[in-house]
Amino acid sequence: MHKLFLGIVSVYMFLKKLRIFAKRVSLNLAEFHLLFSSAHRALWLFIISNYVSVLFQLDWQNKLYLSPLTTEFGADITCGEMALASSLLQGAQAEWALLCGNNPYVLTRCAQMLEEQTEIDFIDLNLGCPIDLIYQQGAGSGLLRRENALGTIVRSMAGVLNLPLTLKTRTGVHSDKNVAHMLIPKFKEWGAAAITLHGRSREQRYTRIADWDYINECARLANPVPLFGNGDILSFEDYQRHKEVILISYFPSVIVFFLLSAGVMIGRGALMKPWIFQEIKEGNHYDISSRERFEILKKYANYGLEHWGSDNKGVETTRRFMLEWLSFLHRYIPLGLLERPPQRINERPPPYVGRDDLETLMASPDCQSWVKISASCILPHLIWETIEMILGPVPENFHFLPKHKANSWK
């Protein structure tokens, strides 16, 4: 089965190269480009329906250089951070990724530009962002209350793209009124190739447990379009429990759609323990030592410096995003210290003393500890008796306040 999967992926990558080649070489190859694009899209849908189990959604606090780390740990697909379509069209310096907007023309033109000028595999439209500014402009989760505009946007984007268009959405805007089950049949009609559903409303943010029963209901309605559930995945047990729920939703059509299955998208869980994808693939827990976690941080810093540059501005930009990541990473409790594994994502971790000084420092909810980790977190009295620097000393009068403001200081 693994060799079959590798063979399918090889064919997929070959078709992708042919599509890009036909697009770039000559307008005379337009018909070949369309042919390769159609085959490429069909194979993408086959792979995502049959072989993709776990996706990783990037966010503003980790940027694109966390993507290679999650891929190394087993994520099947990574999707970039949210980017405003209007900003991309104006040439703003941002990673081209998950699109957000409220204007059908702007979003459609931006999708065309991305398809023409990048080598991405699909375009994802954000219908779930709960941020007030985005919502008030009628974008993100604000589109869930603008059905006519939403329909125009999805139909327009799907109509001009050869690449698959995927949608990321929530249960609804209000806690007491789910709307996803009414929109999902329309998503299929409008041309969505896949759907990701976060099991909370905009109002709930992260204050409630993700509603996987509702995700299950929506997965039935989405069939045969693959639906990926999102929310509260921090262990392979969580994955198996929720994956089974979604697979059951396809059972009534098992004769027709026996190859179609869905998976999960992971966000916060991967920020707390990036190796969660490996645990899911192997069905096992891993007790990652403080030294191993520090090496992950060093690799993250290297990706950041490659991306932003190694001058003062690049170092401090990388540090800022590392500190944002540490606001999640410190919540991880090592397996060897858990009284009742697995750890639950919505349970606030209790204070504990680690098995070494570095592990204790990494568990601290104090921003000052995170700053120390970013500067010189390997303490001199540990066994290797050296101070290893990640990003060096912080500037004078340095202050940090996480965007999530969780256990932060100023």
What separation in angstroms does the CA of 52 have from each of 69, 70, 126, 145, 235?
18, 14, 20, 31, 17
Check the CA dihedral 326-332-333-339 and report its sign.
positive
Q: Which two tokens stand for residue 286?
A: 């891993």
Q: Could you give the CA distance from residue 12 to residue 28 in angstroms, rounded to a whole number?
A: 23
Q: Within its chain, how far is the Cα of 258 from the centroid?
A: 27
**In sequence order, what are the residues at sequence separation of 6 or more whose Cβ sits closer than 8 angstroms to the Cβ of residue 154?**
125, 165, 167, 187, 190, 191, 192
Q: Could you give the CA distance from residue 229 to residue 242 in angstroms, rounded to a whole number?
A: 8
Listed residue (338, 332, 329, 303) closest to 317, CA to CA: 303
Q: Could you give the CA distance from residue 377 to residue 370 in angstroms, rounded to a whole number?
A: 9
Task: Answer for the pair 330, 363: CB distance below 8 angstroms, yes or no.
Answer: yes
Instruction: State residue 174 phi and psi, 5-degree precision.
Output: -100, 150
The label of the residue with tokens 């990036």 reads 274
> What's the start-to-end Cα distance of the chain, in Å?
53
Listed residue (161, 167, 79, 146) closest to 113, CA to CA: 161
Instruction: State residue 169 phi and psi, 5-degree precision.
Output: -140, 180
β-partners of residue 127 are: 169
Q: Could you give the CA distance from residue 289 to residue 315 in angstroms, rounded to a whole number?
A: 26
Catalytic residue (choose from 100, 110, 129, 218): 129
Q: Going along 128-280, which residue ranges are E strands?
A: 165-170, 194-198, 227-230, 264-266
Annotation says 377 is catalytic: no
Q: Which two tokens stand for residue 208?
A: 């409630």
Residues, the chain? 410
- Residues marked as catalytic: 129
